[in-house]
Amino acid sequence: MTLLLRRATALDADTVSSLGARTFAQTFRHLYPPQDLETFLASAYGLEKTRDSLAHPDKATWLLEDDGEAIGYASAGPCDLPHDEVRPGDGELKRIYVLKEHQGGGKGSMLLNAALEWLERDGPRPLWIGVWSENFGAQRLYERMGFAKVGEYFFPVGETRDLEFVLKRSSP
């Protein structure tokens, strides 16, 4: 097993797009009617959207590869979560996914640390994460990294509305 953590480029759009759709479906498929899931995957993880995100100068994505196979990724950028305290210049962990069969071995933490370090590359600043209210595993991980719940909102997945928690880590 040779692990490689690297910044993704626009050339990785296919890989990131399919990895995102696959891990989201692996984790959350049971929560939605098939039509809602399909609509959401096509829009949130579509190739064009992924390409735009990878080319965006204020965003960054990391891929974790195991013997050349992409097994997880994380993306970060400016915060656009709906919360009154969000200020221009605040950062957000936008996505973090590790394929199910690779979870629980520190790989998510590697990706998270890369994203948080990049978000604070010019010094400490407030950081934000949106997480599904019942994603207790991810919430434990974020709590350990200093994030705390400061709000809630509803996140649309097709016609379904998910209750999401808004987490914030304040700069010291």
Binding site for ligand COA (CB under 6 A): 23, 27, 96-98, 103-109, 131, 135, 137-138, 140-141
User: Nearest residue to ligand COA, using CB?
Assistant: 108
Kindly list the strands in the beta sheet with 69-78, ordered across the sheet, starting from the edge strand earlier in the chain: 3-7, 60-66, 69-78, 91-98, 127-132, 160-169, 148-157
> Minimum distance from CB of 42 to ligand COA (Å)?
19
Q: Return the H-helix or E-strand segment holding 160.
A: strand 160-169
The Cα–Cα gap between 129 and 92 comes to 6
Nearer to ligand COA, 25 or 126 (CB): 25
> Minimum distance from CB of 123 to ligand COA (Å)?
25
Nearer to ligand COA, 45 or 97 (CB): 97
Nearer to ligand COA, 40 or 97 (CB): 97
144: exposed, middle or buried (C-beta count within 10 Å: 0-12, 13-18, 19+)? exposed
> Minimum distance from CB of 120 to ligand COA (Å)?
19
| Centroid of chain to Cα 128 | 11
Nearer to ligand COA, 131 or 157 (CB): 131
Q: Return the structure tokens found at 48.
A: 């064009």
